[in-house]
A and B are shown apart, each in its own frame.
Chain A
Amino acid sequence: MDMNKDLVAASATPLVLAILAEGDSYGYAIIKRVAELSGGHLQWTDGMLYPVLHRLERQGHVAAKWSASENGRRRKYYRITKEGRAQLAAQRQQWKAVDGTLRGIWMEACTI
């Protein structure tokens, strides 16, 4: 399935925040988790995740820390902040509203 680019971009923030809400993580692992969750439907260009993460960091929704990884290289780990959780909750409400609306009209279309 070819997903619309704007849709992918719009869902990036809540998705990243939700994944980080599960636990601290780093770029590559987040990409893998997205692929896993979406069953491969959401294909991100890997590099594009990082500007999203950096923007979230700047807005204070996530905090980042460089620490050593299991393979000896430095790796940047991201953690969701309190503001990030609030933001996630707000976005969740919005997506729920969108989802509910679409569901409503599609259910009607089915029953008619």
Chain B
Amino acid sequence: MTAFADQPLEEQIAQWRAYLRRRRAVHGPDVEELEGHLRDQLVTLTEAGLTGDEAFLVAVKRMGSLDALSREFARAHSERLWKQMVMAPDGDESAKTSSTETLVVLGLVLAACVAVKAPALFGIPLSPNAEVPSFYFRNASLFVFPLLAIYFLWKRDSGIASGLWLALPFAAGAVFANVYPWQTALVNKVPNGSDTEVLTILHLPIALWLAVGFAYVRNRWFEDGGRMNFVRFSGELAIYYVLIALGGGVVTAFTFMMFGAIKMNPDWFVGGWLLPCGAAGAVIVGSWLVEAKQSVIENMAPVLTRLFTPLFTVLLLAFLATMVWTGSPINIEREVLIGFDLLLAVVVGLVLYAASARDPQAAPDFFDVLQLVLVVSALVVDGVALAAIAARISEFGFTPNRVAALGENLILLVNLVWTAWLYFRFLRHRGSFADLEQWQIAYLPVYAVWAALVVVVFPPIFGYR
């Protein structure tokens, strides 16, 4: 549209545009689209005989209130909503002032410390001089995840009923983490912890994270964007946690250095208090920071994804090329299957976080091709490894570790095969990116269900070995 000769009118349009730009649920191209509409409307109205001022008033009124408009935009584009929380408890969040929230968070951190230290009162001490009892590892997630769930229930104003319902998975987790009679076998006369116990330690947090997810998304689990928001939250929390851990490391180093200088040994404090309480409290503080700072810092997880997708693609392709060139078979060591599981998990993570930050409406670009290459090469690498392992599986026998690793490999493989197919369709313009996002989101509970299966079923099946 050519600019209006009416200078004040142009100024009014510019002002309206500036107001609209401030709405962060409405992005640049949307502002342009809406401005185009406004100008079309203005032309029609001025041609009908209205003055510039009158036409502007009518056109803006017809466009609707900016509040309602940006709320609708946030609903339609929930990936923007996550950063802005425009819809945060439907606009009536004033009750939760930031100082109340700070108090609640501090209270929960304190509760986490108490939870970590309480078992010491019941004869399970946490001392820096002895090995940490496996009780603490088995229950690590139970010290903080319920508190985290409480934080989200409070923050989202969820009713008591849903809170009680959420207590079920945590109670079940506590039961299965503690009732099984784990066997400690002697391997070569060295006491060797139970394999299924280690599996429980690794899998229980994954299963319970889903319960935290239910608290996080409240009743929007099946709605557009609810689960993806939780995925974004998880990624940001992981990054914040690492940052806090780094800071904690610096504090620890200074503690040792300074008290060492006056010939005091702070071991009991660092090992018995600072580390366990810090590790538990950091989960809650990290979640609070992610919730509070969403709009301040750009999301880091997608940035890291952008950085590492090309690197991993090059790595996988180089690996495949070298293997073909030299013809050397994959050396089947004990841990190789778990290694390839981790590789697939990383690739799934890269796909997931790339999807979480992507505008689903954008046309396919080079990065999408790169993602497809990454997924396909990971599939090929994993296929080669699986073939090698399958050939010797009878020789190895079935141990709990191997069954768990095989199951995980299968789950990730199914995800990636379908992902590759959806990516292929998307690049050929036969499908939309939303399909891929939907698939990834729909797949999330599978991980938790499998993890729960490992925790509940594996120990009895394998005789608590």
Contacts and interface: CB of A to CB of B under 8 A. Distances in A.
Interface of A: 26-28, 31, 45-48, 50-52, 54-55, 57-60, 64, 66, 69, 71-76
B36 A73 contact: yes
B434 A60 contact: yes
B53 interface: no
26 contacts: A27-B33, A46-B62, A47-B34, A47-B63, A47-B68, A47-B72, A48-B68, A50-B30, A51-B69, A51-B73, A51-B76, A52-B76, A55-B76, A57-B361, A58-B360, A58-B434, A59-B432, A60-B431, A60-B435, A71-B1, A73-B1, A73-B36, A73-B39, A74-B36, A75-B33, A76-B29
A26 B36 CA distance: 10
Mostly helix, strand, loop or mixed at chain B's interface? Answer: helix
Contact of B75 (A26, A51, A66): A51
Contacts, number: 77
A58, A73, A75: residue with the most chain B Cβ atoms closer than 10 Å: A58
Nearest to A26: B36
B82 to A, nearest CB: 15
B394 interface: no
A31 B63 CA distance: 11
B36 A75 contact: yes
B257 to A, nearest CB: 55
Contacts of B156: none
A61 to B, nearest CB: 10
Contacts of B37: 27-28, 31, 46-47, 50
B76 A48 contact: no
Interface residues of B, number: 28
A51 to B, nearest CB: 4
Contacts of A71: 1-2
Contacts of B75: 51
Given A46-B62, A48-B64, A54 B34 contact: no
B402 interface: no
A43 B347 CA distance: 49
Contacts of B30: 50, 54
A10 to B, nearest CB: 15
Contacts of B1: 69, 71-73
A55 B78 CA distance: 10
A14 B147 CA distance: 46
- 9 pairs of A and B residues whose beta carbons are closest in the complex: A45-B64, A60-B432, A51-B72, A51-B76, A28-B40, A47-B64, A47-B69, A71-B1, A55-B76
B76 A28 contact: no
A45 B360 contact: no
A72 B3 CA distance: 10
Contact of B32 (A47, A51, A52, A74): A74
Contacts of A50: 30, 33-34, 37, 73
A48 B361 CA distance: 19
Interface in B1-42: 1-2, 29-30, 32-34, 36-37, 39-41
A11 to B, nearest CB: 16
B64 to A, nearest CB: 4
B77 interface: yes
A75 B360 CA distance: 20
A106 B431 CA distance: 44
Given A54-B77, A58-B361, A45 B63 contact: yes
A45 B62 contact: yes
A72 B2 CA distance: 7
A26 B32 CA distance: 13
A60 B2 CA distance: 33
A55 B77 CA distance: 8
Contacts of B39: 73
A64 B360 CA distance: 12
